[in-house]
Amino acid sequence: MKHIDIVKILKDKDHFSGQQLTLCGWARTVRSSKGICFIELNDGSAFRGIQLVIDESTCPDYALASKQGVGAALKATGTVVSSYKNPEIPEINVSSFEVLGEAPKDYPLQKKRHTLEFLRTIAHLRARTNTFNAMFRIRSALSIAIHRFFQERGFTYVHTPILTGSDCEGAGEMFRVTTLDPCKAKPAGMSDAEFYKDDFFGCKAGLTVSGQLEGETLAMALGKIYTFGPTFRAENSNTARHAAEFWQIEPEVAFAELEDLIELAEAMIKSIISDVLDNCPEEMAFFDKHYDNGLVDKLRTLVQQDFVVLEYTEAIRILQESKVQFDYPVQWGCDLQTEHERYITEKVYNKPVFVINYPAKIKSFYMKQNSDSKTVAATDLLLPGVGEIIGGSQREDNLEKLERRMKELNMEEEDYWWYLDLRRFGTAPHSGFGLGFERLLLYITGIGNIRDVAIFPRTKGNLQF
Ligand code: 4AD
Ligand code: MG
């Protein structure tokens, strides 16, 4: 269909002024008074739309236009002029008008403002609202910013598998993938190997929780790699920050130790947030105005700040000395709960904090064991208001130490033979982290629930679309 994207007219009004153009889009608002119909038309090419002015005395399609409802798909031809109210803003004096698809009165987006909870029930239509138009535009810009950051630094983008046999985090949160009869349970006493030998892959399979283990194999050849793809967790956590399907960015770097990883993570967060601020000013102003006053200033401050690096042991000491009555008591060896993370980032530092060197007992098998034999060279990046957005570590590159740890955790070594091979053939120090894409979007937009940053959220009990 021959037509022009609205964004082009908005960006270069002077160039198009006086020209006769055809536009397509959906009506956001329709109102008529004294023989003039005004339609706010949005085609998704920009956050904003453009106003169509249909004058009864000059446009034969006035009657048709004025009876259109919000949500109708329209095509209009007319001349670009300056808005009567603000000469900086272009609008269209329509000469001919066509309805591509009507939207009757039961179109659910009649009101100007709906609650986010209501919009979740119409996820197939919510992208037509300002909030989700802005959100998904920022989602796109953030993705590109991430690729740009890694590409500029010589990282190779790799696609790790979604179907996998290895549970990277060992937390038993893998969704199972099977073609076996779902009604047939595994007989008592039968091994997994025996039961799954007739399954599609001839072994137990699931959806990946992380591309890290496969990513490590590529870093051991390509040096610096990153993944950017969907990961899945059958976590029973019904919170505002947990989704069953979420996107993760997982860089893995050969010849990098924990401090190199922290430097990389800090540079990445600052670079991609700056990119979004530069590239999505209207969308960010919208979230600042409607959802989180001061958001843009908060992000501008963040990209100027030095992030804090805090030993886990020190974090425990701070929490214990705080005299705050936490729901979960604090002692060395405990996992940090959201309330602890929030206290540290919001009350103590009010900036991003890398907590480092966690107790081995609460972290995954692959993390580099420190010489104190109690802690591992791991780090979580905590952000005020959101909590953990990054989890990473230096990897255990010593074969015996890794095997010993896997035995302690009753892991089957033969399931990981290829992972252990990396420690047999040309092993080297290496490190990586996983950034939760939706968690970062929560922080950047000031939105409080992961269900409102994912396009079609998948959470426990929710897979409607
Ligand atoms: O801390 P996690 O579990 O680390 C890993 O998976 C490592 N294998 C990453 C690596 O080193 N390559 O997860 C990484 C990040 C978390 O910090 C969090 O931001 C996000 O993934 N995340 C979730 N986001 C949304 N919903 C969930 N259920 C999430 N679980 C983790
Ligand atoms: Mg984690």
Annotate 94-137 with DSSP letters as a single string: EEEEEEEE---TT-S--SS---HHHHHTTTTTGGGSHHHHHHHH
CB 285 within 8 A of CB 296: yes
- Mean pLDDT in residue range 241-261: 98
| Bridge partners (DSSP) listed for residue 413 | none
Mean pLDDT over residues 73-77, rounded? 98
204-250 pLDDT, tens digit per residue, is 999 999 999 999 999 999 999 999 999 999 998 889 999 999 999 99
CA distances for 361 relative to 233, 344, 366, 399, 429, angstroms? 21, 22, 12, 19, 21
Task: Give the Å distances, CA to CA, from 185 to 85, 178, 179, 182, 201.
Answer: 70, 12, 13, 7, 18
Task: Report whether pLDDT(309) > 90.
Answer: yes
Q: Which residue, by CA, sits nearest to atom 5 of ligand 1?
A: 434
Q: What is the rounded average pLDDT of the residues 108-133?
A: 94
- 336 in ligand 1 pocket by Cβ < 6 Å? no
Q: How confident is the model at residue 73 (pLDDT cuts 50, 70, 90)?
A: very high
CA-to-CA distance for 376 and 342, rounded, in angstroms? 23
The answer to whether the 6-101 and 128-174+209-452 domains have the same CATH topology is no
Ligand 1 pocket: which of 235, 388, 442, 452 to mutate (most atoms <8 Å of CB)?
388
- Among 207, 210, 367, name the best residue to mutate to test ligand 1's pocket (greatest count of ligand atoms within 8 A of Cβ): 210
- The band of 25, judged by pLDDT with boundaries at 50, 70 and 90, is very high
Please tell me the distance between residue 390's alpha carbon and the centre of ligand 2 in angstroms: 7
Q: Residues lining ligand 2 (ion), CB within 5 A?
A: 391
> What number is the average pLDDT over the span 48-72?
96
Given a cut of 90, whether residue 170 has pLDDT beyond it is: no
Task: Write down the pLDDT at residue 169.
Answer: 84
Atom of ligand 1 at shortest distance to CA of 434?
9
CA-based R_g, the chain, Å: 27
Residue 363, classed as helix, strand or coil, is coil
CATH number of 128-174+209-452: 3.30.930.10
- Ligand 1 atom index nearest CA of 435: 15
Pair 92, 50: CB distance under 8 Å: yes
Q: What pLDDT does 308 receive?
A: 98
Find out whether the beta carbon of 352 lies less than 6 Å from any atom of ligand 1: no
**Ligand 1 atom showing the smallest separation from residue 391 Cα:** 1
Ligand 1, atom nearest to 388 Cα? 17
CA atoms within 13 A on the CB side of 448: 6
Give the percent of the chain with pLDDT over 70.
100
**Is 243 close to ligand 1, i.e. is its CB under 6 Å away?**
yes
The pTM for the full model equals 0.96
**pLDDT one-digit tens code per residue, 431-455:** 999 999 999 999 999 999 999 999 9
Torsion over CA: 149, 269, 387, 375 (sign): positive
What's the pLDDT at 11? 95
**Measured distance between the N- and C-terminal CA atoms of the chain, rounded to whole angstroms:** 29
CA gap 24, 244 in Å, rounded:
37
Higher-pLDDT residue of 278 and 237 is 278
- Give me the mean pLDDT over the 325-348 stretch: 95
Stretch (H or E) spanning 113: none
Q: Could you tell me the fold of the domain covering 6-101?
A: OB fold (Dihydrolipoamide Acetyltransferase, E2P) (2.40.50)
Domain boundaries, the chain: 6-101, 128-174+209-452
Ligand 1 close to Cβ of residue 247 (< 6 A): no
Q: CB of 145 within 8 A of CB of 299?
A: no
The pLDDT of residue 72 is: 98
Which residues neighbour 159 within 8 Å (Cβ) at sequence distance 6 or greater? 227, 229
